[in-house]
Amino acid sequence: MRLSWLFGSSMEAHHLLAAYVAVWLIQGGYAGWIAWQWMRAGKELQPNLSLNTEADEDM
Amino acid sequence: MRHTRIYRTVGLVWFLLTVAAIVYATRLALVVAPTEATMGNVQRIFYYHVPTSMLSLLFPYVNFVASLFYLGWRRRNPMRALTADAVAIASAEVTVVYSSICLLTGMLWGRAVWGIWWTWDARLTSMLLLWLLYVSYLMLRKLSATGQTQTLAAVLSVFAAIDVPIVYMSIQWWRTQHPAPVFGGGPDSGIDPSMMPAFGWNVLGWAMWGVFLLVFRYSLERRRQETEQEAARKSIEGSMEIAQ
């Protein structure tokens, strides 16, 4: 396994793994939060589809 | 409706391409790129730290330009001003995400290489200040109850943007613990050519991801604005019916 060093017990390995995992968690968490809010906002908007015809066409 | 479908398809294709680019870039960074002679494997944090740091200094300018447009349009063309405001809040959030990653990965790298988590040198302090400015921008938008929140936030954004060139130039203006610029920092700067593919693909992947987040968050804000407009319209209609 070429990546086995990544899961070693040294501080360098721990910090490298932590950095990569943290980046994915932060970015994925933020994208997930937007997706969740997007679905919530969609539910609120659904009964009012006739709102702004110009904006609807733009969308 | 046809436009909506096209935008969603483009968004999905962009998302898939972005994830593919990031996965490939991560593989290059962890498997293909050579191990650095002095620092060893922990130097591979560089491939995430530097691209996200570069991007955390670019998104504040999107916020700055959008805020200027908001200030210019808010009286003459309020509908367009709302569009600029949606771009402003989206770019401020993406700035906080990228600068948080910059600070976090920098601390993890610094502890392993320097033996310390943090030092109050000019680069680290000015970057922390940038993060605090954009967090305060978002808190202002979230907590302020006045009708002038968007205008106040836009003014704050103009001042916050001043910190960006200070962060960038800090390692040239002052002697810092943080290393000199990797690129354009003199005759000894630069990285080994064998490290360039991993670096370049990470810049591309995380830039594409940043654009994806920006557009997705902008679309969400526009949705919210439409919901608020609809609620306001219904409220006005309701009060007019009561008056009759």
- What is the C-alpha to C-alpha distance for residues B37 and B44, in angstroms, rounded to an integer? 12
Q: Average pLDDT, whole number, for chain B?
A: 91
Q: Taking residues B205-226, report their average pLDDT.
A: 95
Crossing angle of the two packed helices B122-143 and B149-160, in degrees rounded to 10: 170
The DSSP result for B37-104, as a single string, is TTTBGGGGGHHHHHHHHHHHTTHHHHHHHHHHHHHHHTTT-HHHHHHHHHHHHHHHHHHHHHHHHHHH
pLDDT digit string, tens, across residues B50-76 = 999 999 999 999 999 999 999 999 999
Residue A57 contacts B, CB cutoff 8 Å: yes
Residue of A nearest to B211 (CA): A31
Identify the band that residue A56 occupies on the pLDDT scale cut at 50, 70 and 90. Answer: very low
Which pLDDT does position B129 carry in this prediction?
Answer: 96
Spatial CA neighbour of B56 closest among B23, B95, B105: B95
pLDDT greater than 50 at residue B235: yes
Contact B126, B170 (CB under 8 A): yes
- Contacts with B101 (C-beta within 8 Å, 6 or more apart), sequence order: A22, A23, A26, A27, B48, B52, B56
- What is the C-alpha to C-alpha distance for residues B54 and B60, in angstroms, rounded to an integer? 11
Which pLDDT does position B243 carry in this prediction?
Answer: 74
Which 8-state DSSP code applies to residue B121?
Answer: -
Going from N- to C-terminal start, the domains of chain B cover: 2-227
Q: How far off is chain B from A25, nearest CA to CA, in Å?
A: 10
Q: Taking residues B66-91, report their average pLDDT.
A: 94
Identify the band that residue B110 occupies on the pLDDT scale cut at 50, 70 and 90. Answer: very high
The first and second tokens of residue B57, run together, are 């200094």
pLDDT digit string, tens, across residues B130-139 = 999 999 999 9
Q: Taking residues A27-49, report their average pLDDT.
A: 83
Which pLDDT does position B1 carry in this prediction?
Answer: 62
Residue showing tokens 């591309």? B204
Across the interface, do B226 and A27 touch by the CB < 8 Å criterion?
no
Distances in Å between the Cα of B86 and the Cα atoms of B93, B124, B211 are 11, 30, 14
Of residues B79 and B20, more confidence is placed in B20
ipTM of the complex, rounded to two decimals: 0.89
Identify the band that residue B229 occupies on the pLDDT scale cut at 50, 70 and 90. Answer: confident
Of residues B180 and B227, more confidence is placed in B227
pLDDT greater than 70 at residue B26: yes
Q: How far off is chain B from A15, nearest CA to CA, in Å?
A: 6
Residue of B nearest to A18 (CA): B108
Number of other CB atoms surrounding residue B139 within 10 Å: 11
Residue of B44, B108, B219 lying closest to A18 (CB–CB): B108
Which pLDDT does position B156 carry in this prediction?
Answer: 94
pLDDT greater than 50 at residue B168: yes
Across the interface, do A34 and B222 touch by the CB < 8 Å criterion?
no
**Touching A: B residues 187-226, CB under 8 Å:** 209, 212-213, 216-217, 219-220, 222-224, 226
CATH class of the domain defined by B2-227: mainly alpha
Give residue B141's identity as a one-letter amino acid code.
R
Distance, CA of B114 to chain centre: 27
Which pLDDT does position B103 carry in this prediction?
Answer: 96
Which 8-state DSSP code applies to residue B147?
Answer: T
Across the interface, do B30 and A3 touch by the CB < 8 Å criterion?
yes
pLDDT greater than 70 at residue A48: no
Based on C-alpha coordinates, what's the Rg of chain B? 21
Identify the band that residue B228 occupies on the pLDDT scale cut at 50, 70 and 90. Answer: confident
